[in-house]
Amino acid sequence: MARYFLALLLLANTTAKAADDDRPTPIPPPWTSEVEFGYHALGGNSDSETLNSRIGYTYVKNQYRHNAEAKFLLAEKDGDEDKRRGQLELQSDMKINERTYVLGNANYIDDRYGPYFTDFTLATGLGYQLIRRETFQMEVEAGPGYRHQEPNIDEIDDDDIVIPETVDELILRGSTKFIWKPTKNIEVNGRFTGIGGNSNSTMETELNLTTSINDHIAIKFSNTQNFNSWVPDGLKKRDSTMSINLLFKIH
């Protein structure tokens, strides 16, 4: 009886293993999303708090790729708002061959520091996968667009500096982005976006270093530089932001 029972256990184990081997490999979902959160607080002679967050969503299926990203930065010093910046960007790509795609991009910025403006751009154009390797990828994009920009005077003191004009103009937009994965747990990615118009030209550079803790949690170091070709007197043309965030990946 014991030998018969052991034989049944062995047969059941062999059958289960064979079933697992025959089971198809799970297909990854066409969408991925990311949530980032960072917080910094100082107390004592000077109290300050900084909150930055980001939500990203990507959907890829067949020849289509859709990206959505929202960012928010809030800094307070001694109980008063010191900086606030919100950004929402949407982009859809459609491949027309193995390396080339057509794109549509919409970007909205609400800036309560720097030049204090709201900025909305719509752009289209072509993108090209310049490098496509397993550990390194690079894409370039270029095309025309339209920009609407106006002063953001809500909750701003009378002595604050603002760009006084409302802008409606045609623009040229160019972007370069890359992803480098030297190891399984480390990723370096960057993006350089330039927008040229008659009233103002801007350049934004973003570099990120992500170190994975596990499949769903990572630590992300970011450095963003924003450059404006023209700002009112008394303001600097360059703004920079550095952050360390926890990154949560959802598949």
**For 90-148, what is each residue's pLDDT tens digit?**
999 999 999 999 999 999 998 876 667 789 999 999 999 999 999 999 999 999 999 99
What does the pLDDT average to over 163-178?
91
Give dist(CA 154, CA 140) in Å, integer: 37
The better pLDDT of the pair 239, 97 is held by 97
Model confidence at 1, in pLDDT bands (50, 70, 90)?
A: very low
- DSSP character at residue 138: E
Cα 130 from Cα 137, distance rounded (Å): 8
pLDDT surpassing 50 at residue 5: no
Give the residue with greater pLDDT, 199 vs 9: 199
pLDDT of residue 170: 98
Q: 23, 80, 71, 67: which is closest to 175 by C-alpha?
A: 67
Note if the pTM is more than 0.75: yes
> What is the share, in percent, of the chain residues with pLDDT greater than 90?
58
Residue 238's pLDDT is: 86
Q: Which residue has the higher pLDDT, 19 or 235?
A: 235
How many Å separate Cα 188 from the centre of its chain?
13
Torsion of CA 207, 213, 216, 217, to 10 degrees: -60
| DSSP SS3 for 11 | helix
Cα(53)–Cα(37) distance, integer angstroms: 5
Please give the helix or strand (H or E) that residue 248 lies within, else none.
strand 238-250
pLDDT score for 63: 94
- In 10 A of CB 54, how many CB atoms? 20
pLDDT value of residue 158: 57
The confidence band for 157, taking pLDDT boundaries of 50, 70 and 90, is low
Query: Cα–Cα distance between 162 and 78 in angstroms, integer?
Result: 23
Lowest mean pLDDT among 14-23, 76-85, 154-163: 14-23
Confidence of residue 42 (pLDDT cuts 50, 70, 90): low
Q: Cα(44)–Cα(77) distance, rounded to whole angstroms?
A: 12
Q: What are the structure tokens assigned to 89, written together?
A: 């960007």
